[in-house]
Amino acid sequence: MRGVITTTGGVDLWPHFRGVFAEDAPELTVFQREDISDPAQVDFVFTFIPPDDLFEGMTGLKAIFSAGAGTDAIMACPSRPAHVPVYRVEDADQALQMAGFAAFHVLWHHRDMGRYVAQQGRGEWGRRVIGLSPAYRRVGVLGFGHMGRAIAKGLVGLGYPVAGYSRRAPEPVEPGVEHFHGDGLDVFLARSDILVNVLPLTDATRGLIDAGFLSKLPQGAALVQMGRGGQVVEDDLIAQLDSGHLSGASMDVFDTEPLPQGHPLWTHPKVLVTPHVASIPERRFVVRAIRERLSSL
């Protein structure tokens, strides 16, 4: 099969992946877009932020692969053939990275680690607290696909009462996880002391996490935002933090990336900012996942 690797949107995929395709999937021949003389002969595309005209003339296209967990830029591309399936990266390694990242931030908020960091800066020993058992801190995982399931499984292993929410009932159910779907969102939110968001960005999820949404979380809840930029109304989040309804937030994705200098999230005392690093695809795992998917088409 013949594939195109794009280098658009500031994501230079070609130098990082061409050698890995040659070593791990030699039956797949990959090209840069400018090296394709006949787009009709392209079987698959590997991209992240495609140019508007990328898919023009690709009448034989069988699959489109995202270089990351998100597919929103691909889905919005005006030349994308609607009948061609779009696959996000869902390899086991990325799921483990996401699960570890989520566990870190759940522990950060549960154990109030920001307070200890501030105390260290002041040279202050501080006081010990009681009631730290994970059994008393309920975690909700918003979005229960490949990544959400791995996150929930990891948190169950740490002893947290975990619930997951998805549009439809998951198949199969995850042992030890309380499942909510459909119209159960409000009940799910009301029992989530720490909410981990891993939803994809769609028309339904854009701006979803606003003041009304956040107000349905318990008093003192925390947000771990690992989904996509554009889902959290950032001004509403700051207002909920300032009012004391939320105790903290971890933000890994944002409306505008890089997060602009001077943005209030940078210096908010209840916010931990990371630069979109919840998972970084390992090239060999990505190529092997593409190879496996193509072999089934």
pLDDT above 80 for 11 = no
Integer Cα distance of 18 and 283 in angstroms: 10
295, burial (CB in 10 Å: exposed 0-12, middle 13-18, buried 19+): exposed
Q: What is the pTM of this model?
A: 0.90
pLDDT of residue 113 exceeding 80, the answer is yes
- In the three-class reduction of DSSP (H, G, I as helix; E, B as strand; rest coil), residue 104 is classed as helix
- Mean pLDDT over each residue of the chain, to the nearest integer: 95
Asked if residue 172 has a cis previous peptide bond (ω within 30° of 0), the answer is: yes
Active-site residue flag, 276: yes
Q: Report, at the CATH architecture level, how domain 2-91+281-295 is classified.
A: 3-Layer(aba) Sandwich (3.40)
Write b or e for each residue in 259-268: b if 16 or more Cβ atoms lie within 10 A of its Cβ, otherwise e. Answer: beeebebeeb
Residue 10 pLDDT more than 70? no
Fold entry, domain 92-273: Rossmann fold (3.40.50)
- Residue from 111, 276, 283, 291 carrying the catalytic annotation: 276
Instruction: Check residue 6 and report its DSSP letter.
Output: -
Of the CA atoms within 13 Å of residue 232, those in its CB half-sphere come to 29
User: Does the active-site annotation cover 179?
Assistant: no
List, by residue range, all CATH 3.40.50.720 domains of the chain: 2-91+281-295, 92-273
Asked if pLDDT for residue 9 goes beyond 70, the answer is no
Catalytic position from the list 228, 245, 263, 288 = 228
258: cis peptide before it, omega within 30°?
A: yes
From CA 75, how far away is CA 81, in angstroms rounded?
Answer: 10
